[in-house]
Amino acid sequence: MFTHALPHPSATSSLARWLIVGFLTGAASVIVFHQGIGELLHASGIVSRQFYSLTPTRPLGVPQLWSLAFWGGVWGIALAAALVRMNGTASLLFGALIFGAVLPTLVAWFVVAPLKGLPVASGGVATQMMLAVVLNGAWGFGAGIGLALFGRPHPHEQRHWASPV
C-alpha cells in the first residue's frame, strides 16, 4: 500500500498548461515586445542596431529572429515556473517585468557573451547595458501578459484549478 498521495490530475494538467503557455508566450513576446520595442528604438534613432534580423546564426544557421524566439520560449518556461504561485494580474506582470529585466540580462552578459567571444556586460557601455535591460524587461512584460491571459483556466474552469505544487 502506498503511503503518499499522488498529485491530483487537475493540478498536474494545470501546471503543464502553465508551462506550455510560458513557452508559447515567451517565444511570441520576443517577436512582439522584445524585437518590437527594439525596432521602435531603431526607427526613432535611439539605437543603430536593426531588429527582426534573419541573419543565420552559428553553428546551425537558424535565422536570428527564430533563434531568439526559441530561447525566449525556453526563458518563458523558466518565467512561468518562477511565477506559478503569483496571484493577481498586477503582481504577475510586475514579477514578469522584473524577471525579464534581470535574469536573462545577467545570463546574456556573463554567460552568453563570453561564450560568443563578446565583451562581458556589453563592455560596460551604459547605453548598451540599459538597452539589454529595457528589451528583456519588455520581453518579460509581454510574456507576463500572455501568462495572465492564457495561462490560467477560464473562470468557468476555476473549480478544477488546484495549486500545481
- Judge whether 76 and 24 are in contact, CB under 8 Å: yes
Cell triple for 157: 474552469
> How many angstroms separate the Cα of 123 from the Cα of each of 22, 113, 114, 119, 139?
31, 10, 11, 5, 22
Q: Would residue 98 count as lying in a domain?
A: yes
Q: Would residue 4 count as lying in a domain?
A: no
What is the C-alpha to C-alpha distance for residues 138 and 98, in angstroms, rounded to an integer?
A: 10
Give the global pTM.
0.84
pLDDT in tens, 115-156: 989 999 989 999 999 999 999 999 999 999 999 999 876 555
Number of domains in the chain: 1
Q: Would residue 103 count as lying in a domain?
A: yes
Question: What residue numbers bound the domain in which 135 lies?
Answer: 9-153
Q: Would residue 85 count as lying in a domain?
A: yes
pLDDT in tens, 30-57: 999 999 999 999 999 999 888 999 999 8
> How many angstroms separate the Cα of 158 from the Cα of each of 11, 44, 143?
12, 44, 22
